[in-house]
Structure 1
Amino acid sequence: MGSHPHTPSLPTPTTPAGQEGLAALLARPDRAVIALDFDGTLADIVPDPEQARAHPGTVEALAALAPRVASIAVITGRPAGVAVRYGGFAGVAGLDHLVVLGHYGAERWEAVSGTVRAPAPHPGVAAVRAELPGMLDRFDSWRGTWIEEKGQALAVHTRRAENPQAAFEALRGPLGELAARHGLIVEPGRLVLELRPSGMDKGVALTEYVRETGAGSVLYAGDDLGDLAAYAAVEKLRTEGPHGTPGLLICSGEAEVPELAARADLLLPGPEAVVGFLSALAQRL
């Protein structure tokens, strides 16, 4: 594809595997799956997650890119419907190839139908919902923490506590015990502890989706510990079969989660840069 004078240049991945992933995507975009986390990747992290919205330009970039690739999948721990609403993804021309895999893939919204498919909630979530407020009251560090209702899961945020990191550390063990008692697990993130059923994670969701679409390459962008499972899935896909599935791993936010940054092929400073990359990619294609 010849360079166009107005085509913005794409940053070069720093690893051979990432360079191979990008080259495969550019060579056969019609077989590429672009998979993206939502919070911290397409939306800036904000003190109140209910105020999170897709970064300006996100929908335009995705609508420009979607017709040129096999599929765009937003993979998030949020309920699918919430991510669709906060992302502004519904009813957008050009976004027919978009799916939102919510609750780590347990829920699915497809732009082409505009509907969400979701399983019945795990009974442990209701039990934890009833016990959680009383449990938080017994801790000095609960002030400023708050519970986010996610339907299939619950999340305890410590971002607004007097000492957010201390509150996070103090609650991690007790919340782990509470979750285990009701058959749930705790997923730690950036000053958030999520109590949810095990068995679904972003890696499982991504692997199943790549297989379902028969993708020839995959790009994944994320920013937090919950994205490590998706990173591992891409690393595994690269090695499977006679030739593997080339993949490109992007880390949004260079210093926030060192474990993620260390495994990324390309570091971008945050959602604005991720959206800029997706726009540049759409123009290249």
Structure 2
Amino acid sequence: MPLPDPTTEQGRAGLAALCADPAGAVVALDFDGTLAPIVPDPAQARAHPGAAPALRRLLRRIDSVAIITGRPAGLAVEYGGLAGLDRLVVLGGYGRQRWEAGRLSEPEPPAGVAEARAALPAVLSEAGAPEGTWIEDKGQAVAVHTRRAAEPERAFALLRGPLVALAERTGLAVEPGRLVIELRPPGIDKGTALRRYLAERGARSVLFGGDDLGDVPAFTELARLREQGLPGLAVCSGSAEVTELTRLADVVVDGPAGVVALLEGYADAIGA
């Protein structure tokens, strides 16, 4: 399967390095919208059926794979069918959790998460949240989804202000996404998680793939690392809902199916 041609010079250099020295390569990917299609109920999300086989092929040749997600790490492993993949690390909660070799480690969430969780029902009621709005408890964070509302974009816009105010009162950060607003602990994002993981591995090249606003820090960090001499390829899992990442990416593919096709093409290119 042929690889796509990156649209930038840095992207072409990154892809060349990934192919020339796979033993030094790290593949880092978001989960929802990148490996798994977006669905109305996040509990029903499952990775594209070709995702785990493609990653298994790559892990025969590359250094490691990191899944960097806002989800709880254990759920990403379960929903992705990823258990049993050697040299796979899942960094959940934007990097606060780590799953590796079947073991999960995480700190206690700050008090603000519990405060926000308790206050959310009243905040949504006072804001006039429409029917279909619902709360997802992620343990290390809480999120409000509007995808099930009759007018999801209108509901998202209506609730953003009150949720930002709640985050300020509880000392949390706001992470907007595809018809979801998440309140999470501050101080770490996907860019920080990516930088730390690449340093830990001593990576000599990196591919990062994402689809949503929460992935912007990782794209920004990848651009910074490339300026410092680390070759890298930025891949956007494209959608009609979020277009911001297309301007930051070297390659835009058609959703999770396109991501899997790219991973398979990379595996073919390195003889995995």
TM (norm. structure 1) is: 0.93
Matched, 1:163 2:156: no
5+ residue gaps, structure 2, are none
Q: Decide whether the 8 Å contact of 1:64 with 1:282 is kept in 2.
A: yes
Aligned residues with identical type, % of pairs: 60
Residue deviations 1:17-42, cap 9 Å, x none? 10000000001000011000000000
Pick aligned residue for 1:269 from 246, 251, 254: 254
Cross-structure match for 1:209: 197
2:139, 2:155 → 1: CA distance? 24
Pick aligned residue for 2:135 from 106, 125, 147: 147
- How far has the Cα of 1:254 moved from its partner? 4.8
- How far has the Cα of 1:130 moved from its partner? 0.7
- How far has the Cα of 1:258 moved from its partner? 2.0
Matched, 1:193 2:220: no
Give RMSD over aligned pairs.
0.9
Q: Decide whether the 8 Å contact of 1:20 with 1:246 is kept in 2.
A: yes
Alignment of 1:30-179 (within 5 A): 30-91=23-84, 95-110=85-100, 113-179=101-167
Pick aligned residue for 2:223 from 217, 235, 238: 235
1:215, 1:118 → 2: CA distance? 24
- How far has the Cα of 1:239 moved from its partner? 1.1
Pick aligned residue for 1:10 from 3, 26, 47: 3
Cross-structure match for 1:184: 172
Pick aligned residue for 2:208 from 211, 220, 227: 220
Secondary structure of the 1:133 match is: helix
Q: Decide whether the 8 Å contact of 2:115 with 2:170 is kept in 1.
A: yes
- How far has the Cα of 1:135 moved from its partner? 1.4
Residue deviations 1:181-234, cap 9 Å, x none? 011011100100000111110000000001111101110000000000000010
Residue deviations 1:68-98, cap 9 Å, x none? 111100000001011111111112xxx2111
5+ residue gaps, structure 1, are 1-7
Secondary structure of the 1:35 match is: strand
Secondary structure of the 1:187 match is: strand
User: Cα–Cα, structure 1 residues 48 and 254, in superposed 2: closer, same or farther, change >3 Å?
Assistant: closer
- How far has the Cα of 1:142 moved from its partner? 3.2
- How far has the Cα of 1:137 moved from its partner? 1.5
Cross-structure match for 1:247: 232
2:265, 2:206 → 1: CA distance? 17
Equivalences, count: 270
Q: Which has the higher mean CA deviation after the structures are superposed, 138-147 or 116-125? A: 138-147
- How far has the Cα of 1:257 moved from its partner? 2.0
1:17, 1:189 → 2: CA distance? 27
1:273, 1:237 → 2: CA distance? 25
Q: Decide whether the 8 Å contact of 1:141 with 1:161 is kept in 2.
A: no
1:258, 1:10 → 2: CA distance? 22
Pick aligned residue for 1:280 from 261, 265, 271: 265
The amino acid across from 1:232 in the alignment is T
Cross-structure match for 1:5: none
TM (norm. structure 2) is: 0.97
Q: Decide whether the 8 Å contact of 1:254 with 1:268 is kept in 2.
A: no
User: Cα–Cα, structure 1 residues 80 and 199, in superposed 2: closer, same or farther, change >3 Å?
Assistant: same
